[in-house]
Structure 1
Amino acid sequence: MRVIVIIGSISDKIIMKSAVDMLKIFQINYKCYVISAHRLPNTLSKILKKLEDENTDLIIAGAGLSAHLPGIISSKTIIPVIGVPIYNSKNSLLGGIDALSSITQMPKGVPIASVGINNSYNAALLAVHILSMKYIFLKKSLIKFRKNIQKKLENEIEQHL
């Protein structure tokens, strides 16, 4: 079981850290790459071919601005892709809506799952949900994780009553 995290630029690394942290919680093997879909298209293609040969289960791709990275990845592989639209106040004037639209408005035949703007935590958690259908030990861990969250929330509610 392996998840690959691909980031469009080094400045997006801090946003994608939550995804890596979540993968660590569930002890999922992962590897991170920083690859610009526009500046290094040949490198991206080579890495995707390698990932297919290595039986990668899933890719989480985070990108800002026009956010073509997840779509380009999806067009070049059958490995499922979860896109994370990234808003970086230094680069975007649209608050991440540009990235969100680029990821969610893909043409037919090039599917991408998407999460909310800057929500790499949910991207990794979605990856865990998907992988739990294939790996029974992960399913058990996910059920326990969800029950712990529920208990924590119930305790918080009781403290405020």
Structure 2
Amino acid sequence: MSHPEVAIIMGSDSDLPTMQAAIAVCEDFKVTPHVEIISAHRTPQRMVEFAQQAHQQGIKVIIAGAGGAAHLPGMVAALSPLPVIGVPVASRHLKGLDSLYSIVQMPGGIPVATVAIGNAKNAGLLAIQILAAQRPELQEQVIAYRRSLSEMVQDKQEQLATVGYQQYLKDYQAASSAG
């Protein structure tokens, strides 16, 4: 892996289990992630410094996960020239809906791409696709990944057609309860 091109930041260490999926995607595509805990509320000066300097450190995309008030993605986007992808982290009381609303309600001129609640995997994939726009070898990996998704669905359809929906459902439920 090379120098970090994707920064994956989060407001709290409790966000790390969610954000791990974005880290894994970067690693799967051999893109080095830079991972940090940066709180918009508890370490605001550190957040400002990070957001203003990330592009000078070779970072190309920032993924920011946040729960609750979820100000981190928007504040970083306001301070950085880089694309920011917000990951709403599920909260205890409102199940992440508060985080989602906070991240998607950005004023005109300060865009933040936003994925579904808890879906850091898609944030990682979107970051990879942003990088792939300028890197043909990475774009080929994205194409191969998409092809593998299609093949996976086709394989499942063939299995369904072979065993019938009742047996397929039984096998699916057994596998789900085992794993």
Correspondence for 1:58:
61
Q: Return the alpha-carbon distance in structure 2 between the equivalents of residues 55 and 109 of structure 1.
A: 23
* Counterpart residue number, 1:73: 76
Q: Which has the higher contact order (CA 8 A, sep 6+)?
A: 1
The alignment partner of 1:107 has SS state of coil
* Map of 2:168 onto structure 1: none
Q: Normalising by structure 1, what TM-score?
A: 0.95
**Residue in 2 that maps onto 1:139:** 139
Taking structure 2 as the reference length, what is the TM-score of the superposition? Answer: 0.85
> Percent of pairs identical after alignment?
37
User: Alignment partner of 2:78: what SS?
Assistant: helix
CA displacement at 1:156 relative to structure 2? 0.7
SS, match of residue 140 in structure 1: helix
Per the alignment, residue 22 of structure 1 pairs with 25
CA–CA separation in structure 2 for the residues paired with 1:154 and 1:68: 41
Residues 18-53 of structure 1: per-residue CA shift (max 9 Å, x gap): 000011110011110001111111111222233121
Question: How much does 1:130 deviate?
Answer: 1.4
Residues 38-57 of structure 1 aligned to structure 2 (within 5 Å): 38-57=41-60
In 2, Cα distance between equivalents of 1:48 and 1:123: 18
Q: Flag structure 2 segments of 5+ consecutive residues without an equivalent.
A: 162-179
Aligned length: 158
Matched residue type, 1:130: I
RMSD: 1.0
Q: Secondary structure of the residue that 1:160 maps to in structure 2?
A: helix
| 47-56 vs 68-77, greater mean Cα deviation | 47-56
Partner of 2:176: none
Radius of gyration: which is bigger? 2
Residue number in structure 1 paired with 2:165: none
Work out whether residues 12 and 88 of structure 1, in 8 Å CA contact, stay in contact via their aligned partners in 2. no
Matched, 1:126 2:129: no
Q: Which runs of 5+ in 1 are unaligned?
A: none
Q: Judge conservation of contact 1:85–1:117 (CA < 8 Å) in 2.
A: yes
Kindly report structure 1 stretches of 4+ aligned residues shifted beyond 4 Å. none
Please identify, of 69-78 and 124-133, the stretch whose mean Cα deviation from structure 2 is larger: 124-133
Q: Which amino acid aligns with 1:157?
A: Q
The 2-side partners of 1:59 and 1:52 are apart by: 10
Per-residue Cα deviation, 1:39-95 (whole angstroms, up to 9, x for no partner): 111111222233121231100000000100000000111110000000033xxx211
Return the offset for 1:131: 1.3
Partners of 2:5 and 2:88 lie apart in 1 by 22
1:36 aligns with 39
